[in-house]
Amino acid sequence: MRKLFFLLLIFFSLNAFADDIPGYSSYVNDYAGVITEKDKASMESVAKEVEDKTGAQIAVLTVKSMAPYASIEDFGMAVAEKWKVGQKDKDTGIIIILAMEERKVRIEVGYGLEGIFNDARAGRILDNTILPYFRGGDFSAGLRRGMFKIADTIGTEMDVELDERAKMQDNSFTESLCLLLFFIIFVSIFVLMIRRMNNAKRTGRRYYGSSFGAMYPGYGHGRGSFGGFSSRGCGGFGGFGGGGFGGGGASRGF
């Protein structure tokens, strides 16, 4: 029995090695570690809203390197075929892919969105929205603005009003409100704790740390807890739906 288990384990890990495409845990999958927690959270909520209201799914993937794929187009297609972003019958999926080492970025457009994002439009989003930030070295903002632009375009074209539009401005009011709320709660807990402990400041600070972690599941932890955070914080990510891709979209080097 134990042997069988180990054999299975070896089999699956070999399988994992044979497969060069990373999996997804949510809409935004930042394997290169270039997206800030704040941007990630707001991108997640925008993607969630777009999916709820239009059925379209927007995914983001960043990787350190796309090796062994020779071109971002091949890599993008492999990701699209594995993740199957978008609804099954409508194929409304779109993926923004960034490969850091190769300095390539691509927007991969599913069949169902080719009408909204023709290749030239995808190229324009890269040129006008994403690349200006990339050239300044701000990958997080570039991806966020790019994704918002895509969300906004889908909303406009499908004639759906998105609440999260407020967030698409640079200063996100909701975000800061949320942070403020957390700050107030945190301060009150902090004060309460100090009172209750009736102790030296050092001890209080230690409690500060642990209560912060408990309140912000996902914050300050590794990538693994992120999926959990998003599903608790943003109402759940149900996985991608089985959308088809035919190679539409645009790519850029930066």
DSSP code of 32? T
Applying CB under 8 A, among 21, 32, 34, 131 the residue interacting with another protein is: 131
The C-alpha atoms of residue 130 and residue 136 are separated, in whole angstroms, by: 10
Applying CB under 8 A, among 22, 204, 233, 247 the residue interacting with another protein is: 247
Rounded to the nearest angstrom, the gap between the alpha carbon of residue 108 and the centroid of all alpha carbons in its chain is 15
Applying CB under 8 A, among 127, 221, 236, 238 the residue interacting with another protein is: 127
Question: DSSP letters of 196-248?
Answer: HHT--HHHHHHHHHHHHHHHSTTTTS-GGGHHHHHHHHSS---------EEEE
The C-alpha atoms of residue 166 and residue 78 are separated, in whole angstroms, by: 34
Closest distance of CB 62 from another protein, Å:
19
Question: DSSP letters of 215-229?
Answer: HSTTTTS-GGGHHHH
Nearer to another protein, 46 or 77 (CB): 77
Q: Which stretch binds another protein (CB under 8 A): 41-49, 185-193, 204-212, 242-250?
A: 242-250
Closest distance of CB 250 from another protein, Å:
5
Interface of this chain with another protein, residues 105 to 124, rule: CB under 8 A: 118-120, 122-124
Sign of CA dihedral 178, 182, 187, 188: positive
Nearer to another protein, 103 or 221 (CB): 103
Rounded to the nearest angstrom, the gap between the alpha carbon of residue 177 and the centroid of all alpha carbons in its chain is 21
Closest distance of CB 107 from another protein, Å:
10
The C-alpha atoms of residue 86 and residue 59 are separated, in whole angstroms, by: 9
Nearer to another protein, 43 or 107 (CB): 107
Closest distance of CB 155 from another protein, Å:
23
Applying CB under 8 A, among 20, 37, 73, 157 the residue interacting with another protein is: 73
Q: Which stretch binds another protein (CB under 8 A): 17-25, 91-99, 144-152, 240-248?
A: 240-248
Kindly provide the residue ranges of all beta strands, DSSP E only, lying in 8-150, ordered along the sequence.
28-30, 57-63, 93-99, 104-110
**Contacts to another protein by CB under 8 A:** 73, 77, 118-120, 122-124, 127, 131, 135, 245-254
